Amino acid sequence: MAEPRVIITIDGPAGAGKSTVARLLAAALGYLYVDSGALYRLVGWQAAENNLSLDDAQALSAFLERLQPEVAADTQGFHLFLNGREISQVLREPRVSREASRVAVLPPVREWVTSRLRHLAANGGVVAEGRDLGTVVFPRAKAKFYLDASLEARAVRRRQDWQNEDASTEKVARELAERDRRDSSRAAAPMRVPADALVIDTTNLNPQEVARQCLARIREVFPEIAGLEMKTG
């Protein structure tokens, strides 16, 4: 009998370890890794490149009708291409984080991203990470996780990701706190813990340990999924 290919959601703030854990799970399950933040980053970056106001829902809505990125997802990467050019690298820049968080408050932007995510997951078999995956995008998913960590631990990790020795941990922490505030206080699909999610504090855990806890939960919820003797290191 064919194994079911389900949807796994991972939500939480920046620096909680979502991407690393999502990739470990995707590799273990042979699923696609889906990074919803990259789509918000794409919209924020493109809005700024085209000199659109980041708060103008109407102008952005018209712009999004013409924005057609190509997506290449596998177990380890979520690559976006625009006009044939890979743009994943530029999307990771710190200024794009701010632009993404600003446009992410706008309902038309959220609808545009949500419809793409649902299309990508139409046949199941995805591990999708973001802020509203378990609450709004895939509310019926049965295996949901919410990762969190102390602000300081998250800032240390983010600074390492950027390999940015110029920014102090304190400065990175201030920027993360500002983004958390905007992401959780917006009216449209704010960052929330899904009611049925397993919450994991990753402050003192390495990604392999977190992934093991997630897999234990996935095994409980879906005993029929075999092959979970994963390589989490």
Binding site for ligand DC (CB under 6 A): 14, 36-37, 40-41, 97, 100-101, 104, 130-133, 179, 183
Nearest distance from C-beta of residue 219 to ligand DC, angstroms: 26
Specify the residue, 93 or 170, whose C-beta has the smaller distance to ligand DC. 93
Nearest distance from C-beta of residue 164 to ligand DC, angstroms: 15
SS (H, E, C) the chain: CCCCCCEEEEECCCCCCHHHHHHHHHHHHCCEEEEHHHHHHHHHHHHHHCCCCCCCHHHHHHHHHHCCCEEEECCCCEEEEECCEECHHHHCCHHHHHHHHHHCCCHHHHHHHHHHHHHHCCCCCEEEEECCHHHHHCCCCCEEEEEECCHHHHHHHHHHHHCCCCCCHHHHHHHHHHHHHHHHHCCCCCCCCCCCCEEEECCCCCHHHHHHHHHHHHHHHCCCCCCCCCCCC
Nearest distance from C-beta of residue 101 to ligand DC, angstroms: 4
Nearest distance from C-beta of residue 112 to ligand DC, angstroms: 12
Specify the residue, 120 or 230, whose C-beta has the smaller distance to ligand DC. 120
Specify the residue, 184 or 216, whose C-beta has the smaller distance to ligand DC. 184
Specify the residue, 182 or 229, whose C-beta has the smaller distance to ligand DC. 182
